[in-house]
């Protein structure tokens, strides 16, 4: 087995760093990554509460205009 001290390892990493970064960027997909695991129950509850709070805040600020029972307009910033 070949022995290498820490400074040699750092030099080797530094020499190959730009090439590796270019390869990663070239092969990286521009598509959005989707979740592969389901959210746990606690996480889902927290996210639901955050969404409800944002909706109520938008209603208070007048950003949501109700057109009919099933139609509304959400004014984005």
Give CA separation, 45 vs 32, 52, 53, 57, in Å.
24, 11, 12, 18
Output the pLDDT for position 41.
94
Is residue 17 assigned to a domain? no
pLDDT in tens, 11-62: 888 898 889 888 888 887 777 777 788 899 999 999 999 999 999 999 999 9
Is residue 27 assigned to a domain? no
Is residue 28 assigned to a domain? no
Q: pTM surpassing 0.85?
A: no
Is residue 1 assigned to a domain? no
Which structural domain range is residue 70 located in? Answer: 39-77
Domain count for the chain, please give it: 1
Is residue 30 assigned to a domain? no
Residue 8: is its pLDDT beyond 80? Answer: yes
Output the pLDDT for position 1.
72
2 against 53, higher pLDDT: 53
């Amino acid at each position: 087995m070949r022995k290498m001290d820490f400074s040699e390892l750092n030099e080797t990493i530094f020499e190959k760093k730009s090439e590796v970064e270019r390869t990663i960027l070239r092969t990286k997909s521009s598509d959005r990554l989707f979740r592969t695991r389901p959210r746990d129950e606690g996480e889902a509850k927290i996210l639901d509460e955050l969404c409800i709070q944002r909706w109520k805040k938008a209603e208070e600020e007048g950003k949501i205009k109700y057109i009919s029972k099933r139609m509304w307009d959400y004014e984005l910033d």
